[in-house]
Amino acid sequence: MLGLPRSTEVNRRIAKDKFYSNASLSVQLRDVIKDRIESVFWRNKLSDSTIGIAKGESIEEIQVFEIDLRQRELDRRVLPAIAKAIPYKILFILVFEDEAQAWIEAADVFYNTEWQPIEGMELKFEGLNLDAVYENLARQIAGGRLGSDGNIEQAVDRDKHRRKLERDIPALERKLLREKQFNKQVELNEQLKRLRKELEGLG
């Protein structure tokens, strides 16, 4: 699916109860995993020995997990819970019928691609070491929200701020439309201008 070398292939099915024993999951989240996930496969391991890319300062291996779903959506709490139970960085590929979606964590925030045909899914595994490979994957999967260079943690912080502004501006616009007092309208309009300018500055 991702065009990785055969040397990286693991293709081992992981029993779902492995996650229950290694992660502190609520009963509700366990039920979600049981009900919505059909199977989990450890598809690939990217390391110095399997792909010939040196380990980084913080990343020694990247695992690729395929999660086959029973329906097209998965509770957003599931992947962070699984990631906490595994001591390596993970590229998640969610699969439903003939479509797939990539998910990855960057600075404690999960990013994902849109759903796309499995055969059409392409990711570039590029970088001088595994830190760089993982960072490049995160930027690809984030779809431009993290830019193409610079510090990834700072990029995530900017993106968090951008997301907040993208929520706050429409809320403020609605509040302005409902406001009857002229002086309050002026005040809200000034706030709106400031937030729009701030959002524009983030690119």
The CA angle 133-117-137, to the nearest 5 degrees, is 10
- pLDDT of 82 reads 87
- pLDDT of 93 reads 97
Distance CA 12, CA 104 (A): 20
Count of alpha carbons within 13 Å of 133, Cβ hemisphere only?
A: 28
- pLDDT of 34 reads 87
- pLDDT of 128 reads 94
Distance CA 198, CA 5 (A): 44
Distance CA 31, CA 78 (A): 11
Q: Work out the number of other CB atoms within 10 angstroms of the CB of residue 96.
A: 19
Are the C-beta atoms of 93 and 102 separated by less than 8 Å? yes
Q: Running DSSP on this structure, what letter comes out for residue 54? A: B
Integer CA distances (angstroms), 99 to 65, 74, 104, 113, 114, in order: 15, 14, 17, 12, 10
Encoded tokens for 98:
């003939």
Q: Write out pLDDT tens, residues 21-67.
A: 665 678 888 888 889 999 999 999 999 999 999 999 999 999 999 99
Residue 104's Cβ-count burial label (10 Å; 0-12, 13-18, 19+) is: buried
Work out whether strand 62-69 and strand 89-96 pair parallel, antiparallel, or are unpaired: parallel
- pLDDT of 16 reads 82
So where are the chain's domains? 6-149, 153-202
Residues of the chain with pLDDT under 50: none
